[in-house]
C-alpha cells in the first residue's frame, strides 16, 4: 500500500453544554432548586472537543495519541471510526478501520463468543471466508475457547476485552484504532497485545493508539500526536510528544487553581491542598492536607479521592476515603489530613489530584500539589541503578535462605 492511511483536515467537534451554577443530583434536590428559582432557564454554550485538527498518517505507522484528560483523544478516535459525526472538517480513510474503543463496544450480550466474531466481521464489511480464515487465530489469541458458545454477557471483563481485541486485531482491516483498553487484561495479555499491534504495523497496516500509559506508547508507537484542549500541539517523534505532555503539567496546574475553571458541578469545592514537606525520602510517610468548603444546601455526605501521579501522569496510588469509612458533612468546612503509609516511591517528581464527589463529581482539582522524592535508596546495600530500574514503586522486601544439608 502507498499513500496516506488517514487524512484529517480542519476537523472540529462541538457540543452544546448547559451552563448552570448548581446541578441537582436527586429528585428532592431538583424540586427544592425549582421552588427557589422557578423562572431560571438553562443557558447553553458551545464546547469544542476538537478544534481545527489537521494531520496525515502514512501506512505502517503506529501513532500514539496522548494528552491530559479532556484533551479530545477519545473524541478524535470516535470521529475517525464513524461512531460520532464531525461538526466540521474532513476525514479521509485509505481503507477499512477496525476499532476497540471501550470494553463492551460492538458485541451483543445475548450472542455467543462465536456469533459475535462473525457479527463483528460482518459489520466491518468482511466476507464470511475472510472471517473463517482468521477464526482459529482469534480464538487461540483470546484464550476463551472453552466459553466460545457461551453468551458474552456471562464473560468476565478480562475475557470480554481479550476476545474483543483478538477480533479487532486479526480481522483484516487496514487501520486499527484502540483506546486505552489493554489495562483490563493481565500482564501476559498486555504483552501479547503489544506484540500483536507491532506485527500489525509491520504488515503495512496502521495503528492509532490512545493511552495514559506512557510506557506502552514508548514501547509500541513510531510517532505520536499531543493534543491539548482539542488542538494538535505536536505531531512527530514519541519522545517529543511525551516531553510536551510533561511540560503541560505546570501550566495546567496553574489554571486549575481557579475553582471556576475546574470540572465538576461546583456544589462544593476544595479550597486548599498542602503537602507537609516539599520533598520526602522514598520510604517516608507522605502527608497531604486538604481543605474543603461548605454548602449547607447540599444534601447527604460526600467523599474525597486523592490520586498521586508520577512524572508521566500515571496514577501510582488512589486514596479514596470510602475505603476507610471517610464520609464528610457538607454543612461544615473540613480540614482533612491524608497520611500515606508504606508506599515507597521511586525518586522523582509527583503530582496530586483531589476529587470531591457525591453521586457525581463536585470538584476535580488535577495538579493540586507537587512534591519530590529524593534520589536516595531506602535499602541497606548499594547495588547500583540497575537494581532499582524496573517497576513503578519500591517495596519493603527480604530474602531468606534455607540451605539443604
Report the 10 Å Cβ neighbour count for 272. Answer: 15
pLDDT of 180 reads: 67
In the chain, the number of structural domains is 2
Residues 186 and 288 in one domain: no
Tell me if 15 is assigned to some domain: no
Rounded Cα distance, 216 and 195, in Å? 11
- Are residues 115 and 68 located together in one domain of the fold? yes
Q: How far apart are CA 339 and CA 347, in angstroms?
A: 19
Domain shared by 217 and 322, yes or no: no
| 4 belongs to a structural domain | no
High-pLDDT (> 70) share of the chain, %: 92
The chain-wide mean pLDDT, for the chain, equals: 85
Q: Which of left, alpha, beta for 217 (phi over 0: left; psi -120 to 50: alpha)?
A: alpha
Out of 249, 278, 310, a domain closes at 249
Of 326 and 26, the one with more pLDDT: 326
CATH code, 71: 3.40.50.300
Q: What is the pLDDT of residue 260?
A: 84
User: Does position 95 have pLDDT exceeding 90, yes or no?
Assistant: no
DSSP assignment of 161-215 equals HHHHHHHHHHS--SEEEEES-GGGS-HHHHHHHHHHHHHHHHTT-EEEEE-S-HH
- DSSP for residue 274: E
Per-residue pLDDT at 220 exceeds 70 = yes
Q: How far is CA 138 from the centre of its chain?
A: 26
Q: Are residues 239 and 276 in the same domain?
A: no
CB 62 within 8 A of CB 201: yes
What's the whole-number mean pLDDT along residues 337-346? 94
Helix or strand run (H / E) with residue 64:
strand 62-66
116 and 199 belong to one structural domain: yes
Residue 221 sits in the same domain as residue 274 = no
Q: Look at residues 198, 227, 249 and tell me which one is the last residue of a structural domain.
A: 249
- pLDDT at residue 185, rounded to an integer: 57
Q: What is the pLDDT of residues 100-109, one digit of tens each?
A: 776 556 688 8
284, part of any domain: yes
The CATH number of residue 309's host domain is 2.70.50.60
Is residue 388 situated within a structural domain?
A: no
Residues 163 and 80 in one domain: yes
- Strand 393-394 relative to strand 344-345, pairing: antiparallel
Residue 1: is its pLDDT beyond 60? no
Q: Which residues pair with 373 in a beta bridge?
A: 280, 348
Mean pLDDT within 232-258:
84
Most confident of 29-43, 150-164, 189-203, 286-300: 286-300
Alpha-carbon Rg for the chain in angstroms: 24
Same domain, 203 and 276: no
Cell numbers linked to 301: 455526605
Final residue in a domain of this structure, among 227, 249, 271: 249
On whether residue 118 sits in a domain, the answer given is yes
Are 106 and 133 in the same domain? yes
Model confidence, pTM: 0.65
> Is the pLDDT at 54 greater than 90, yes or no?
yes
Whether the pLDDT of residue 293 is over 70: the answer is yes
State the Cα–Cα distance between residues 115 and 95, nearest whole angstrom. Answer: 25
Among 76-80, 100-104, 176-180, where is mean pLDDT lowest? 100-104
Q: State whether 81 and 208 are in the same domain.
A: yes
Res 158: pLDDT: 80
What number is the average pLDDT over the span 302-313? 90
Same domain, 68 and 209: yes
List pLDDT tens digits, range 359-372. 889 999 988 999 99
The per-residue pLDDT for 63 is: 93
Q: Are residues 174 and 209 in the same domain?
A: yes
16-39: buried (b, 16+ CB within 10 Å) or exposed (e) per residue?
eeeeeeebbbeeebeeebeeeeee
pLDDT at position 21: 53
Confidence of residue 383 (pLDDT cuts 50, 70, 90): confident
User: What size, in residues, is the chain?
Assistant: 405
134 occurs within a structural domain: yes
Q: Is residue 219 part of a domain?
A: yes
Domain, as residue range, for 367: 262-379
Structural domain includes residue 37:
no
CA–CA distance, 132 with 239 (Å, rounded to integer)? 40
Amino acid at each position: 500500500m502507498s499513500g496516506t492511511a488517514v487524512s484529517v483536515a480542519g476537523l472540529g467537534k462541538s457540543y452544546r453544554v448547559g451552563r448552570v451554577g448548581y446541578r441537582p443530583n436527586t429528585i428532592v434536590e431538583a424540586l427544592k432548586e425549582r421552588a427557589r428559582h422557578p423562572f431560571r432557564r438553562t443557558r447553553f454554550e458551545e464546547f469544542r472537543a476538537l478544534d481545527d485538527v489537521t494531520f496525515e498518517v502514512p501506512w505502517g505507522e503506529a501513532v500514539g495519541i496522548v494528552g491530559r484528560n479532556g484533551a479530545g483523544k477519545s473524541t478524535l478516535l470516535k470521529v475517525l471510526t464513524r461512531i460520532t459525526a464531525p461538526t466540521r472538517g474532513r476525514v479521509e480513510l485509505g481503507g477499512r478501520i477496525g476499532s476497540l474503543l471501550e470494553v463492551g463496544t460492538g458485541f451483543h450480550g445475548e450472542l455467543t463468543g462465536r456469533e459475535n466474531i462473525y457479527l463483528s466481521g460482518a459489520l466491518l464489511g468482511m466476507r464470511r471466508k475472510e472471517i473463517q480464515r482468521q477464526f482459529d487465530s482469534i480464538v487461540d489469541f483470546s484464550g476463551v475457547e472453552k466459553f466460545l458458545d457461551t453468551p458474552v454477557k456471562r464473560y468476565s471483563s478480562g475475557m470480554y476485552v481479550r476476545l474483543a481485541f483478538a477480533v479487532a486485531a486479526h480481522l483484516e482491516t487496514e487501520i486499527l484504532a484502540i483506546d486505552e483498553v489493554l489495562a483490563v487484561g493481565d500482564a501476559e495479555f498486555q504483552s501479547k497485545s503489544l506484540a500483536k499491534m507491532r506485527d500489525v504495523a509491520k504488515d503495512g497496516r496502521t495503528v492509532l493508539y490512545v493511552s495514559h500509559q506512557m510506557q506502552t506508547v514508548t514501547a509500541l508507537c513510531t510517532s505520536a500526536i499531543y493534543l491539548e484542549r482539542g488542538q494538535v500541539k505536536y505531531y512527530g517523534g514519541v519522545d517529543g510528544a511525551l516531553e510536551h505532555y510533561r511540560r503541560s503539567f505546570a501550566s495546567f496546574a496553574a489554571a486549575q487553581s481557579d475553582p471556576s475553571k475546574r470540572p465538576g458541578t461546583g456544589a462544593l469545592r476544595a479550597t486548599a491542598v498542602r503537602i507537609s514537606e516539599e520533598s520526602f525520602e522514598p520510604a517516608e510517610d507522605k502527608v497531604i492536607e486538604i481543605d474543603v468548603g461548605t454548602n449547607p444546601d447540599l444534601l447527604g455526605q460526600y467523599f474525597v479521592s486523592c490520586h498521586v501521579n508520577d512524572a508521566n501522569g500515571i496514577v501510582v496510588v488512589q486514596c479514596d476515603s470510602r475505603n476507610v469509612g471517610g464520609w464528610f458533612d457538607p454543612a461544615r468546612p473540613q480540614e482533612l489530613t491524608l497520611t500515606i503509609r508504606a508506599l515507597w516511591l521511586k525518586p522523582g517528581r509527583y503530582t496530586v489530584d483531589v476529587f470531591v464527589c457525591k453521586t457525581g463529581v463536585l470538584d476535580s482539582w488535577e495538579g493540586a500539589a507537587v512534591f519530590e522524592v529524593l534520589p536516595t535508596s531506602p535499602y541497606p546495600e548499594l547495588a547500583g541503578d540497575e537494581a532499582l530500574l524496573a517497576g513503578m514503586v519500591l517495596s519493603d522486601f527480604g530474602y531468606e535462605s534455607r540451605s539443604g544439608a
